[in-house]
Amino acid sequence: AQSVTQLDSQVPVFEEAPVELRCNYSSSVSVYLFWYVQYPNQGLQLLLKYLSGSTLVKGINGFEAEFNKSQTSFHLRKPSVHISDTAEYFCAVSELRSTWGSSNYKLTFGKGTLLTVNP
Amino acid sequence: DAMVIQNPRYQVTQFGKPVTLSCSQTLNHNVMYWYQQKSSQAPKLLFHYYDKDFNNEADTPDNFQSRRPNTSFCFLDIRSPGLGDAAMYLCATSVGGKAQHFGDGTRLSIL
C-alpha cells in the first residue's frame, strides 16, 4: 500500500527566504505525485503535479518540485517566499496500476506541513 | 471558469437532525469524491463515484450516504449527525487518476 510522509509538520520562515517542504512516499508501483495548498477555511488548490516526463515540475505561485525516483521523494521548493504563502501544504500520491480499478484514482495524503512566513 | 462548487459554505445542524451537503461541477469529470477533514488533519476519503459506480471506503460510517443523480451533481447525506461529525467536508472531481480538483468545502457545525 502506498504511504506519504511529510517530514516537517511546521516550517517557519522569514519573508523573501527560500523554503523547502519535504515529502517522501512509498509504493510498489509507479505513481503520480501532487502538491496541494490549503488556505484557512478553503478547499485544496493544486500547486503542481508530476505525471511523467521531466522530473523538475514547475507550478503556480513560483513553486517547483523535483521527483527523485531513487530516493522516493518529491520535495517542494520556492526561492523566495511571501507572507501570502502562509498556508497548509499537502503532498499526495496516487498509484498507477496495470488493471483498472478504484485504486487507480485514490489519493493518499501526507499529514500536511504548515508553512508560516513571518515579516 | 470551470469549477467545483459546494453549497452551503457553512452549515449548522442539530444533533441527530439529517443534513445534506451538495456539490456541483462544470468540469465534466467522471469521478467525484467526498472527503472529511478535521482540524489540522489531512482530508479523509469517505467515498467516491466512478461514473455511476459507488465506492465506499471500508471505514466510512453507515451514517454517511451519497447520491449522484447525474454527472454534474453529488450529494452527501448525514442521517443522524453526531458531535464527532463536525468537520470540513470537501468535494473533489477528477478524470481517472489525474489531478483532483477541489471545491471550497462546507464547514459543518453540530449543535
Contacts B58 to A, Cβ<8 Å: none
Q: How high is the pLDDT of residue B5?
A: 96
Say whether pLDDT at A99 is over 60.
Answer: no
- Is-cis flag, bond preceding B8, omega within 30? yes
What ranges in chain A are assigned the alpha helix state H? none
Ordered domains of chain A (ranges, CATH)? 3-118 (2.60.40.10)
Q: Tell me if B55 and A90 make a contact (CB, 8 A cut-off).
A: no
Cell of B111: 449543535
Q: How confident is the model at residue A98 (pLDDT cuts 50, 70, 90)?
A: low
Cα B31 from Cα B68, distance rounded (Å): 11
Q: For strand B4-7 and strand B19-25, is the pairing parallel, antiparallel, or unpaired?
A: antiparallel
Cell of B1: 471558469
**B57: nearest Cα among A26, A80, A102:** A102
Cα A15 from Cα A117, distance rounded (Å): 6
Say whether pLDDT at A52 is over 90.
Answer: no
DSSP A75-105: EEEESS--GGG-EEEEEEEEE--SS-SGGGG
Contacts B43 to A, Cβ<8 Å: 44, 90, 109
Q: For strand B106-110 and strand B87-94, is the pairing parallel, antiparallel, or unpaired?
A: antiparallel
Q: How high is the pLDDT of residue B88?
A: 96
Q: What is the mean pLDDT of residues B3-13?
A: 94
Q: Tell me if B99 and A104 make a contact (CB, 8 A cut-off).
A: no
Q: What is the mean pLDDT of residues A90-113?
A: 76
Contacts B49 to A, Cβ<8 Å: none
Say whether pLDDT at B69 is over 70.
Answer: yes
Q: What is the mean pLDDT of residues B40-53?
A: 90
pLDDT digits (tens, 9 = 90+) for A75-89: 999 999 999 999 999
CB contact burial A4-43 (16+ within 10 A = b; e otherwise): bebeeeebebeeeeebebbbbbebeeebbbbbbbbeeebb
Cα A74 from Cα A96, distance rounded (Å): 17
Say whether pLDDT at A48 is over 60.
Answer: yes
Q: How high is the pLDDT of residue A76?
A: 98
Alpha-carbon distance A12 to nearest alpha carbon in chain B (angstroms):
16
Q: Tell me if B104 and A43 make a contact (CB, 8 A cut-off).
A: yes
Nearest to A46 among B45, B97, B99 (CB): B99
Q: What is the mean pLDDT of residues A40-69?
A: 93
Full residue range of the structural domain in which residue B30 is found? 4-110
Q: How high is the pLDDT of residue A38?
A: 96
% of chain A with per-residue pLDDT over 70: 91
Q: Return the residue matching grid coordinates 500536511.
A: A112
Q: Tell me if A42 and B104 make a contact (CB, 8 A cut-off).
A: yes
Q: Are B95 and B106 in contact (CB under 8 A)?
A: no
Indicate which of A25, A41, A44 best probes the interface with B, i.e. most B CBs within 10 Å of its own CB. Answer: A44
Q: Are A18 and A80 in contact (CB under 8 A)?
A: yes
Q: How high is the pLDDT of residue A96?
A: 66
The domain that holds B65 is classified in CATH as 2.60.40.10
The amino acid present at A95, given as its one-letter code, is E
Tell me the average pLDDT of chain A: 90
Q: How many domains does chain B have?
A: 1
**A76: nearest Cα among A30, A107, A33:** A33
